[in-house]
Amino acid sequence: MDHRKQPGDAPNNSTEFNLDYSKRILPNFGLEFHDAYQRLDGAGATSGWENLSVGGKWQFFTSEQHETILSLGTDVEIGGTGARRIAENTSTVSPALFFGKGMGDLPDSASFLKPFAVTGAIGPDFPIRSENPATFSWGFTLQYSLQYLQSYVKDVGLGAPFNRMTLVTEFPMQTDVDTRQTTGTVNPGIVWMGKSVEFGVAAEIPINARSGNSIGVMALFHLFLDDLFPNSIGRPIFP
């Protein structure tokens, strides 16, 4: 769920309920599906489903020693599948490079930095219709895992639920290719991760007036189907 105040002179609050599902087809390749229900409150309040997005992602590099992964993916937002009052009627293709790097390979002299990790994605967004502006999406997250600290660095005596928490700050940005104007937010938050479920909450702070007028709030709830059903739907279709 994502709730925040949209840019504009009149009050206009936006609330989104996001639904995401991913399924491994091969050990290093999977499909992803995304949709969201959005409600706009204010003058002319409205609500409805956004366009359905379908994507694929291939993890082409993995280094356990250096805690590094690299993936290539493409997402397609299918125009016209959402409510007309909410969603665009044109499709958008978004190829991207995804990366993740843990700091566990740092020397022991910097042991308290080992729980840090950085993840991110960069790539263009190409609308099918030329009259719609092309954009470039880029962003990254900084994470500090208290569970990693407790398990692999030093037991500092954190009990439940803190011993399974991760401090996270996200920086999702988007730049208009024509105007070179950038919008985005800084999202500091915290995530609790269990064996098969994940909860999180974060603030959403706009970086400029084009990005929003006030601080919003996001909440997440994830189920890890691979862990819940390891011998059925959690397995790749083609091992």
Single-letter residue type at 206 = P
In the chain, the number of structural domains is 1
Other residues' Cβ atoms within 10 Å of the Cβ of residue 18: 14
| Weakest-pLDDT range from 9-18, 73-82, 120-129 | 9-18
Inform me whether the pLDDT recorded for 217 exceeds 60. yes
pLDDT tens digit sequence for 142-191: 999 999 999 999 999 999 899 999 999 999 999 999 999 999 999 999 99
Residue 233 lies in a domain: no
- Bridge partners (DSSP) of residue 217 are 3, 203
Q: Which two tokens stand for residue 24?
A: 């491994």
Query: CA torsion sign, 61 to 67 to 20 to 224?
Result: positive
Residue 16 lies in a domain: no
Q: Tell me the average pLDDT of the chain.
A: 91
pLDDT at 5: 66
Other residues' Cβ atoms within 10 Å of the Cβ of residue 72: 15
Residue 39 lies in a domain: no
Q: What range defines the domain where residue 99 resides? A: 51-228
- pTM to 2 decimal places: 0.89
Q: Which two tokens stand for residue 28?
A: 């290093």
> With contact defined as beta carbons under 8 Å apart, do 34 and 23 qualify?
no
